[in-house]
Chain A
Amino acid sequence: MSTKVANAAATDYEPVIGLEVHVELKTNSKMFCGCRNEFGAEPNSLVCPICLGFPGTLPVINRKAVEYLCKTGLALGCSIAAHSKFDRKNYFYPDMPKNYQISQYDMPLTTGGSVTLPSGKRVRLNRIHLEEDTGKNVHAGGRMAGAEYTLIDYNRAGVPLMEIVTEPDLSSPDEAEAYLVQLKAVLSALGVSDVKMHEGSLRCDANVSIRPAGSSALGTKAEVKNMNSFRSVVSALEYEIARQKASLAAGERIVQETRNWDEARKLTYSTRSKEQAHDYRYFPDPDLVPLSLEPATLERWRAELPELPLAKRGRFMESYGLSDYDATILSADIPTAVFFEAVVAASGEPKAAANWMLNDVPRALEKHGLTIESTRMKPGQLAELIKLVKSGTISGKAAKEICEAMVADGEDPQAVIAQRGLAQVSDEAAIAKLVDEALAANPDSIASYKAGKTKALEFVVGQVMKASRGKANVEIVRAALIKRLE
């Protein structure tokens, strides 16, 4: 082993990560034409001469997309450009109807700003700009080169796309994930995007490099693409960091290149694309006039901003006494937060409400393929359930069963209790009778208990509960049993 390699191997490296996140904006129509902006429609059903780049057509800016981007910028503390413009990014690709993409090159709509992670770390943003999405290619045989034929769906072509670029501020794959989770929470709070990574409304590319720990210089970066979930972002980053470390340890140089994440094989591979040779020949789009924003418009948009996840988290911790962890989860998703607050309002029990919203409700939703928005359960019903547990009318175990029924069918808790006979038995005489029966059936346990084996007590409690089909109030059973044995 050469000295150089030995040195490299001995060096402790730290990763430097920057993310480029593409977010499809949830406007009614596309960026530059009137076509509906919708996911999952029949291929090439949401197209018109403009988004197909027909001869003679011209783009017209969708003001709503500008508003959505600016609101995102305002929420993230970016400076909004009073004057910006659109440029053409020229390259030939079959999913681009005009063989250029209308984007923003040197005058993006926003610069600066940051995303604050729950840890308190601020991830600085470089810019957010507006552009149009491309269509989708389907190559017979999987790859374009040598494909027998290529099919193109232009439904997505021209959908408004916002590109959010960070500074290289992220120092681990987990931090990258935390950033994505936080960004997604902000965007869904703003209502500007569906932010569904599996439908492609949120897409993430990563610039990854490594450098000797403590160094401030940046190493040569690789751009990692094709990651389809937050999970795969973490895996891809972990793989890529390890790969770069191994390369340096082996005395190799890191090449600036684009690498695709292969989800099946769990590795990144070089696309060997001519990406580096690309000259996009950016120039201002002469079909569009420069975009100017009035300060009054920005102020109106600022006033319309909803409460953002981090502020909501703080309020949940302060007003409801929730833990940092619970508050973070409940504030990250707007429908969940709204439901939770409604349950709190109806029950006056924030901690119990949080417990249900964090555990049994999501479990039941998942089991029945529902979401908090699609379930027929009402916040008032869950509040009622919480009250019934608190008053001892039902056992905790029965409550879980009722909760699932409520989530699945939207039934009232009282109805489920009546139907299934789940009311808790707290009647002491009835319980005393069950205790007597259990003791009679298990004389050995009495001896064991008297010999100091407390485990025996719990065994008998279990027998009583079984006999009552779980309906006996367990505290009363235990008290009655101890009283009988002593």
Chain B
Amino acid sequence: MRTGHEIREAIARKQTSALEVVEQALESAGRLETELHAYIRLLPERARIKAREIDAAVTRGDKLGPLAGVPIAVKDIFTVAGEIATAGSKILENFRSPYSATVVEKLERAGAVIIGKTNMDEFAMGSSCENSAFFPTRNPWDVTRVPGGSSGGSAATVGAGTVPIGLGTDTGGSIREPASFCNIVGVKPTYGRVSRFGMIAFASSLDQAGPMTADVRDAAQTLEVIAGFDEFDSTSVDVPVSDYTAALRDDLSGVRVGIVAEFEAEIGASDPALAALYKAAYADLERLGATLVEVHLPHARYGLATYYLIAPAECSSNLARYDGARYGRRVQNGGDVFEMFERTRAAGFGDEVKRRIILGTYALSAGYYDAYYVRAQKIRTLIKRDFDTSFAACDVIACPAVSCAPFELGQKMQDPVSMYLMDYFTIPMSLAGIPALSVPAGYVTGLPVGLQIVAPAFEEARMLGIAHAYEAATGHARRREPPLAGAAR
């Protein structure tokens, strides 16, 4: 048993119990933790209570939710009522949330059992999980390497097979890059498709929650559960949620797949081995019946610069609330309330967070606002238009999810820009607010790499359907096991 849908079936058929599944997941998580460091906190008691509720429902013969009894791991950026939510930061290390995120409520209502809160780059700022204020998470494929970030903990625990489903967030690639690095499926939905209420904000106009799963079917099922309008999030969009699992398909006849000329030139020059792997992936799509068409994203090269103005600008304001007055960490050594704010923030935030707050504060300052923030918004519009133009010629875009295979811990920590470049292929979609996913595409020197599939806004069903056909035909993830495997499968 490896996927969420298999587990749910087995529980529904009474071949196993939710409690048994949860105990296995907890055991696996605990056993791997010394090497993997995927969890900031396990929630064994809460998990057992929920599992017993599912088992009682099975015994009574109740109608079971679509994720009944499926153990899941939730990134520590989401609030769960009564539990601590740190967002990977010291400043929230003792913050116990009085309420649950909308997505958490929806998952629990669907029967999912949260076994723990996973590690992440502080406030989701990072691409390697090394910016966690607590400890770095390792890659189950090679513990000397990073799992990607910022949703590194969820990626690592799903990649290791401890749980089939993790919940992550993606602002510029924080679901897709770690999914790629850990050989799992990671979906960033359309901006507004999933409620942000209860998801601790990094950059509000970019943040989206999404599933990180063992296979495409689990991703489709999970997205179906968490998607939808939320009256508590004004930016969530009132568009009906499709039946994503029904849209899963096995061939690609009639599908036009756009290949981005600029991206191919970029990766061909920087990493020929990786470029060859992606070429093979596009050929697989063609073999399944798809037609490849060349498309252009001329403004995508400005994506990184645009992103590093908009995201820090929003975060500089979003993170202003962490001042020690109402919750979280407080550092008070005499002095007035403003001194308390300064000391709390100086001690509570890590270097990368401080770097971005300073960047964003600068970008929004009087005299610079028009030159930086306003201009960045204009480029964002141009990037969005590039996608609109491209989608006139194709149904989905296939492109690299990452610019390299998982790298070693510490390799990029002294060079923030090389770390920022990790999101080169994922940031344009975030800026355009359109859905994109990463699906396992094979291995480079034994390390996993993902293929990115991108669709127009609210066309998640199409995107998942195509990813499913590719996954079914290639089965890259099914073919190998990571050295750090979670459980007897």
Contacts and interface: CB of A to CB of B under 8 A. Distances in A.
Please say whether chains A and B are actual partners in one complex: yes
B364 A57 contact: no
B337 A55 contact: no
Identify whether the interface residues of B are mostly helix, strand, loop, or mixed: loop
Interface string B291-315: 0000000000000000000000110
Interface in B310-358: 313-314, 316-317, 320-323, 325-328, 336-338, 341
Nearest to B95: A55
A283 B317 contact: yes
Contact of B79 (A55, A59, A98): A55
Interface stretch (A285-293, A296-304, A363-371, A402-410): A285-293
B337 A56 contact: no
Given A92-B323, A92-B341, A144-B337, A58 B364 contact: no
Interface in A47-102: 49, 52-61, 88, 90, 92, 94, 97-100
Contacts of B95: 55
B275 interface: no
A469 to B, nearest CB: 68
Contacts of B336: 144-147, 150
Given A49-B98, A61-B234, A94-B337, A56 B321 contact: no
Contacts of B87: 55
A56 B79 contact: yes
A152 interface: yes
A100 B234 contact: no
A49 B204 contact: no
Interface in B188-236: 196-201, 203-205, 231-235
Interface residues of B, number: 46
B92 interface: yes
Nearest to B236: A58
A272 interface: no
Contacts of A253: none
Interface of A: 49, 52-61, 88, 90, 92, 94, 97-100, 144-147, 150, 152, 279, 281-283, 286-289
A90 B201 CA distance: 16
Given A58-B235, A147-B337, A283-B313, 4 more contacts: A56-B85, A97-B326, A281-B366, A286-B314
A88 B234 CA distance: 16
Q: Determine which residue in B101, B326, B337 has the highest number of CB atoms from chain A within 10 A of its CB, and name it.
A: B337
A39 B338 CA distance: 28
Q: Determine which residue in A57, A146, A289 has the highest number of CB atoms from chain B within 10 A of its CB, and name it.
A: A57
Identify whether the interface residues of A are mostly helix, strand, loop, or mixed: loop
Contacts of B328: 55
B321 A53 contact: yes
A408 to B, nearest CB: 48
A92 B341 CA distance: 9
Contacts of B369: 281-283
Contacts of A60: 231-234
Interface in B83-142: 85, 87, 92, 95, 97-99, 101
Contacts of A88: 317
A152 B325 contact: yes
Q: Determine which residue in A54, A97, A146 has the highest number of CB atoms from chain B within 10 A of its CB, and name it.
A: A54
Q: Determine which residue in A58, A59, A61, A145 has the highest number of CB atoms from chain B within 10 A of its CB, and name it.
A: A58
A97 B326 CA distance: 8
A271 to B, nearest CB: 15
B452 to A, nearest CB: 25
Nearest to A144: B336
B244 to A, nearest CB: 25
A55 B320 contact: no
Given A49-B98, A90-B320, A147-B336, A54 B341 contact: no
Contacts of B474: none
B197 A279 contact: no
Contacts of B78: 56
Contacts of A97: 321, 326
Contacts of B326: 52-54, 97
A186 B373 CA distance: 40
Nearest to B201: A56
B365 A54 contact: no
A282 B364 CA distance: 7
Contact of A58 (B233, B341, B365, B373): B233
5 contacts: A54-B98, A282-B369, A283-B313, A287-B201, A287-B234
A99 B321 contact: yes
B373 A283 contact: yes
Given A55-B95, A99-B320, A279-B366, A286 B205 contact: yes
B361 interface: yes
Nearest to A147: B336
Contacts of A59: 234
B394 to A, nearest CB: 29
B20 to A, nearest CB: 33
Contacts of B313: 283
B320 A58 contact: no
Contacts of A150: 336-337
A58 B235 CA distance: 9
Nearest to B314: A286
A54 B97 contact: yes
B306 to A, nearest CB: 15
B99 to A, nearest CB: 5
B317 A281 contact: yes
Contacts of A144: 336-338
A49 B199 CA distance: 13
Contacts of B341: 92, 94
Given A53-B326, A56-B101, A281 B361 contact: yes
Contacts of B101: 56
A129 to B, nearest CB: 18
A146 B334 CA distance: 10
Given A283-B364, A286-B314, A287-B204, A92 B320 contact: yes
Nearest to B313: A283
B323 A58 contact: no
A281 B323 CA distance: 18
